C-alpha cells in the first residue's frame, strides 16, 4: 500500500505507475481516493474545531454553577450535548471514509523502481546473467516423474486416492534426497548469518491482507472453513506477520531470518496443475529468507539475497540464470523482483526455482511495522527470497545428476545428509 501523500501531492505519478503495470482499469481508484480524502480531512477539521469549541464552552459551566447561575449553566450543558452529537456524527463519518479509502488504497499497486523493465507479462522478463555451463548429455533424460517412479520414489496414484490431483507420496531414497535438500538449504542460510525459524502454518485474514493483494489471496490461499485462518502459501506470510503492530529498535536492524515451512496453494487459473509431475502441485516445502531493514538498505539486501540463491544452486553444480521481472509480472506490493531459474537438460531450457522481491514499505504500512531510532519512528522495508522450493529444486537436482544407467549422483554437499550415500540406484 502506497503513502496517501503520493495521491494528495502527485496523483499523476500514481496513475503513470498503474499504466506501467497495464492495470488501466484501476485508474479511477486514484481519483476516488483523492476526493474521499478531501472529504475525510474536511470532517476531521470540523470535528477538531468542535472539540475546541466544546472545551471552551465547557470551561464556563463550573464558574456559572459557583455563581449560582444554574439556568445559564444548564443552557450551556445542552449546547455541549449538541456539540457532542455533532462530533459523534463526524467521527462516524470519518471512520466510514477511512474504511472506504483503505479499501481502495489496498487495490492500488506499489510504485515500481525505475530500473524495472516495462512489459505486460512474464514473457517479457529480461535475462540478467547465467551462472554455470548448461550441459545436455548425449543420452536421453526421462521425465522427472518417470525417473522417480523407476527408483521406487514417487507414488501419485495413491495420493490421487487419498487427496486428489496435485498431491504425491515421496518414498525411500527420493524422499530422503528431498529432505536432504531442505536440511542443506537451512544450514546454508544459517552459515550466512540468518536466524532459523519455523513459523505457524496458518495465519489470520488480517495478516493475509497485510502481506499480499486480494487478487493473489483468492488465487492462492486455502481458507479453513468456519475460522479466520488461512493455510500459508509461503512462510514469508507468517514471518512478516510476526512483526505486525510492532515497533522494532533501530539497533536490531537488519533482521535476517530463514524459515522452513510446508506451503499450500490452489494453483488454479491458466497455469493449472501438473497431472503427472511435481512442478506445479498443491503442497510443497520451502526454505525462505526474509529481511527487515531500513529503506535505504533495501536494494543492498535485495542483491545479497538473490545472490545467496544462486550460490546455493551452484554449490550443487546446478546451472542457473537470473531474470528481471517486468512491470506486468510484478505482484501489486512489489517494488522490484527477479526470478532464479535452474537449467533443465531434459527440456534444454531454464525453469523457475525461486524469486526475490523487495516490497519497500508496502507490507510495513499495511501491518504497521515500524522501527524507532533517535529521530523517531518510521516504516521499515521488507524483502523476501526463496532459498529452495521443492519438489522444484528436487527436479533440477535429479535432471542435472541423472546417469545413463538410470541412477542419480548425489552432490558432495548433500552426501552428509544422506548418510554418506553417493548415488541412488535402481533396486
149-206 pLDDT, tens digit each: 999 999 999 999 999 999 999 999 999 999 999 999 999 999 999 999 999 999 999 9
Contacts from 293-296 at CB under 8 Å and sequence distance 24+?
Answer: 293/253, 293/254, 293/255, 293/380, 293/381, 293/383, 294/250, 294/253, 294/254, 294/371, 294/380, 294/381, 295/360, 295/361, 295/378, 295/379, 295/380, 295/381
How far apart CA 185 and CA 397 sit, in angstroms, is 13
How far apart CA 261 and CA 44 sit, in angstroms, is 45
Q: What is the grid cell recorded at 383?
A: 524483502
CA distances from 250 to 289, 297, 364, 374, 395 (A): 20, 13, 15, 9, 41
Mean pLDDT computed over every residue of the chain: 94
Find out whether 333 and 359 touch, Cβ atoms under 8 Å. Answer: yes
How far apart CA 255 and CA 258 sit, in angstroms, is 10
> Pick from 157, 156, 109: which is nearest to 280 by CA?
156
Going residue by residue through the chain, which has 427 residues, state the pLDDT in tens, using 9 for 90 and above: 899 999 999 999 999 999 999 999 999 999 999 999 999 999 999 999 999 988 888 878 777 777 788 888 878 888 888 888 999 999 999 999 999 999 999 999 999 999 999 999 999 999 999 999 999 999 999 999 999 999 999 999 999 999 999 999 999 999 999 999 999 999 999 999 999 999 999 999 999 999 988 778 888 899 999 999 999 999 999 999 999 999 999 999 999 999 999 999 997 554 556 667 899 999 999 999 999 999 999 999 999 999 999 999 999 999 999 999 999 999 999 999 999 999 999 999 999 999 999 999 999 999 999 999 999 999 999 999 999 999 999 999 999 999 999 999 999 999 999 999 999 998 7
- H-assigned helices in 106-154: 144-150
Q: What is the grid cell recorded at 72?
A: 445559564
Q: Which pLDDT does position 273 carry in this prediction?
A: 63
Residue 163's φ and ψ, nearest 5 degrees, are -135, -20
Domains of the chain: 4-105 (1.10.287.40), 122-424 (3.30.930.10)
- Beta bridge partners of residue 291, listed in sequence order: 256, 383
- Beta bridge partners of residue 195, listed in sequence order: 257
Amino acid at each position: 500500500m502506497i503513502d496517501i501523500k503520493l495521491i494528495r501531492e502527485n496523483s499523476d505519478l500514481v496513475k503513470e505507475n498503474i499504466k506501467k503495470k497495464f492495470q488501466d482499469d484501476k485508474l479511477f481508484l486514484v481519483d476516488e481516493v483523492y476526493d474521499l480524502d478531501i472529504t475525510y480531512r474536511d470532517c476531521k477539521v470540523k470535528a477538531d474545531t468542535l472539540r475546541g469549541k466544546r472545551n471552551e464552552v465547557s470551561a464556563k459551566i463550573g464558574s456559572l454553577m459557583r455563581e449560582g447561575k444554574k439556568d445559564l449553566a444548564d443552557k450551556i450543558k445542552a449546547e455541549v450535548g449538541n456539540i457532542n452529537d455533532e462530533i459523534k456524527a463526524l467521527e462516524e463519518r470519518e471512520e466510514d471514509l477511512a474504511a472506504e479509502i483503505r479499501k481502495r488504497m489496498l487495490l492500488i499497486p506499489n510504485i515500481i523502481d525505475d530500473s524495472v523493465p516495462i512489459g505486460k507479462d512474464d514473457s517479457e522478463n529480461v535475462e540478467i546473467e547465467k551462472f554455470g555451463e548448461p550441459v545436455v548429455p548425449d543420452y536421453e533424460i526421462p521425465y522427472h516423474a518417470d525417473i522417480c517412479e523407476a527408483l521406487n520414489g514417487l507414488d501419485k496414484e495413491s495420493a490421487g486416492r487419498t487427496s486428489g490431483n496435485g498431491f504425491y507420496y515421496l518414498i525411500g531414497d527420493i524422499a530422503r534426497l528431498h529432505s536432504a535438500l531442505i536440511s542443506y538449504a537451512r544450514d546454508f542460510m544459517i552459515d550466512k548469518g540468518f536466524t532459523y525459524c519455523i513459523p505457524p502454518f496458518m495465519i489470520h485474514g488480517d495478516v493475509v491482507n497485510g502481506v499480499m493483494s486480494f487478487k493473489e489471496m483468492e488465487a492462492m490461499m486455502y481458507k479453513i472453513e468456519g475460522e479466520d485462518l488461512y493455510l500459508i502459501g509461503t512462510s514469508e506470510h507468517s514471518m512478516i506477520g510476526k512483526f505486525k503492530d510492532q515497533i522494532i529498535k533501530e539497533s536490531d536492524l537488519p533482521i535476517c531470518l530463514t524459515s522452513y515451512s510446508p506451503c499450500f496453494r490452489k494453483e488454479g487459473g491458466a497455469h493449472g496443475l501438473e497431472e503427472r509431475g511435481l512442478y506445479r502441485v498443491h503442497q510443497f516445502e520451502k526454505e525462505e529468507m526474509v529481511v527487515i531493514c531500513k529503506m535505504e538498505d533495501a536494494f543492498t539486501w535485495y542483491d545479497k539475497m538473490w545472490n545467496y540463491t544462486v550460490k546455493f544452486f551452484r554449490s550443487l553444480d546446478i546451472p542457473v540464470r537470473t531474470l528481471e521481472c517486468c512491470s506486468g509480472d510484478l505482484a501489486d506490493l512489489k517494488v522490484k523482483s527477479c526470478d532464479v531459474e535452474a537449467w533443465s537438460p531434459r527440456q534444454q531450457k531454464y525453469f523457475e526455482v525461486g524469486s526475490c522481491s523487495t516490497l519497500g514499505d508496502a507490507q510495513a504500512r499495511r501491518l504497521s511495522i515500524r522501527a524507532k531510532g533517535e529521530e523517531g519512528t518510521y516504516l521499515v522495508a521488507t524483502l523476501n527470497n526463496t532459498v529452495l522450493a521443492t519438489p522444484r529444486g528436487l527436479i533440477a537436482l535429479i535432471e542435472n545428476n541423472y546417469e545413463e544407467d538410470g541412477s542419480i549422483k548425489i552432490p558432495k554437499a548433500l552426501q552428509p545428509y544422506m548418510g554418506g550415500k553417493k548415488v541412488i540406484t535402481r533396486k
